[in-house]
A = this chain, B = another copy of it.
Amino acid sequence: MKNNLFESKLKVANIGMESFADSLAENSVETVRVDFTPPICGDSSQWSSVYKKISSINKANKIASDRILQAQPFLIGMGKAGDLVPGMKKNLILHAGPPVSWDKMCGPMRGGVMAALMYEGMAKNPQEAEKLAASGKIKFEPCHDHSCVGPMAGIISYSMPVFIVKNKKFGNRAYATMNEGLGKVLRYGAYSPDVIERLKWMENVLYPVLKRAISYLGEIDLKSMTAQALHMGDEVHNRNRGGTSLLYRTLAPAVIKTSSQEEAASALEFINKNDHFYLNLSMAMSKASLDPAAGIKNSSLVYIMARNGTEFGIKVSSLGNKWFTGPAPVPDALFFAGYGKKDANPDIGDSAITETNGLGGFAIAAAPAIVQFVGGSAKDSVKYTEKMYSITCAQNNIYRIPALDFKGTPTGIDLIKAAKTGIMPFIDTGVAHKEPGIGQVGAGVVAAPKEPFIAAFEAFVKSI
């Protein structure tokens, strides 16, 4: 605009490629955007059968998304996975994402399984653990199919303590382990003695301290806490400093009243050193909020997105318990010193349940820090969130974003809208090393792959 003030202006009609229009717009060239993006799948007869049913699909999606908005997730207690998790057995290990067998498991998930077998005392060393895991004596099933969620490898074994989150509106429950902190930890596939030792300390000290404190408090309103965290720079997936702080403030006086001085101090010091402590609660809260949206006839709402490090899977409200999967992509990431994209495992973890709940990448306008560390700007973070409104059914009534004038977060992913626009859910995430035993190597952003949505679309069209 500097030199052409009195010249006639360049005008461009842009068809299709949005990024080209963006770059013209940045240079102040006028563009007329014509909506032209082709659907990612479906032939004209399939889309015509969708459009014939669109009013009942939309009605069903309204019921499903209303259930998400009505969720009342509360932290109500803690216990051992073996005592609480439906279907839990001593020889069963739960993992993140859709089902996967040992031979197809990625490195960090194998590492997590090995850590769990040593933690359970079923193996003495990594060699024994690997042998046992491959023997067929150990069963592997998704967390999601047992009312659980786990970040990264998402490993939950029989003796592990879990938080109990209850959706008081619908009565359903979800479970998640306590967050171990950053660096070399089980969920990133590390299994060295210090990893197991920390897990034992968490079971023997941290867990009883927190269990007593939560029981003293009765319950903690996680919806309200998450809403506040969004006003404190969190999107409660990759940034949890606000949520962790609020949880800590709530717990501390109860911890003091119900534990010895030494145990109280060590438990609070552990949480204070780990700004991600809230993540597992944010995930369990999201799981508890979304599960009641399942099973609604004609609803194209996606109520689970999860990755096992090999595949990315989704479940759709009207399509029962079926996983629709495709290859998991490798995130764009900022890597820790000494690591690069060649070290990165494909996308892994149940933490995309936060995005499915309208948080995480969907609420990234609340946490521009996350976009910035992969080279984006605060404006980019707003754009990412704004884009998600075009593939969702509702705006959240409680989760609101300051930078968008407290607009509700985009909530309830609509398979049909995603398939039609080709806009894939935006996820921000940690990145694990692809080999077992190493741990986290970075953090980044990724779009969900199209394949699971295409597969679900095909099944959905047949179902209506």
Contacts and interface: CB of A to CB of B under 8 A. Distances in A.
Interface of A: 1, 5-6, 8-9, 11, 30, 32, 228, 231-233, 241-242, 245-246, 248-250, 252-253, 256-257, 261, 264-265, 268-269, 272, 367-369, 372, 377-379, 402-406
Contacts of A1: 30
B245 A272 contact: no
Contacts of A256: 256, 261, 264-265, 268
Contacts of A8: 8
B372 A405 contact: yes
Nearest to A381: B402
A237 to B, nearest CB: 16
B5 A30 contact: yes
A197 B403 CA distance: 41
B253 A265 contact: yes
Contact of A377 (B245, B377, B379, B405): B405
Contacts of A248: 245, 248-249, 252
Instruction: Return the 10 tightest CB-CB contacts between A and B, nearest first.
Output: A245-B245, A232-B232, A256-B265, A368-B402, A253-B265, A253-B269, A249-B272, A232-B233, A252-B252, A231-B233
A12 B11 CA distance: 21
Nearest to A367: B402
A32 B2 CA distance: 10
Contact of A5 (B32, B265, B272, B378): B32
Contacts of A241: 228, 231-232
Given A30-B5, A256-B264, A250 B272 contact: yes
Contacts of A368: 402-403, 405
A402 B233 contact: yes
Contacts of A265: 253, 256-257
8 contacts: A5-B11, A6-B11, A228-B241, A231-B241, A232-B232, A245-B248, A257-B265, A261-B261
Contacts of A5: 11, 30, 32
A188 to B, nearest CB: 24
- Copies per assembly: 2
Nearest to A256: B265
A376 to B, nearest CB: 9
Contacts of A406: 369, 372
Most chain B CB within 10 A, of A8, A232, A406, is at A232
Nearest to A406: B372
A267 to B, nearest CB: 9
B402 A369 contact: yes
A9 B406 CA distance: 34
Nearest to A266: B253
Contacts of A369: 231, 402, 406
Contact of A378 (B228, B246, B372, B402): B402
A414 to B, nearest CB: 27
A265 B252 CA distance: 8
Contacts of A402: 233, 367-369, 372, 378
A8 B231 CA distance: 44
A402 B404 CA distance: 14
B249 A246 contact: no
A11 B5 CA distance: 8
A372 B406 CA distance: 9
B253 A261 contact: no
Given A245-B249, A257-B265, 18 more contacts: A1-B30, A232-B232, A232-B245, A233-B242, A233-B402, A242-B242, A245-B246, A248-B248, A252-B252, A252-B268, A252-B272, A256-B268, A261-B261, A372-B402, A372-B405, A378-B403, A378-B404, A403-B403
Contacts of A264: 256
Contacts of A233: 231-233, 242, 402
B245 A268 contact: no
Contacts of A261: 256-257, 261
Contacts of A11: 5-6
Nearest to A402: B368
Nearest to A246: B245
Nearest to A249: B272
Most chain B CB within 10 A, of A257, A269, A372, A378, is at A378
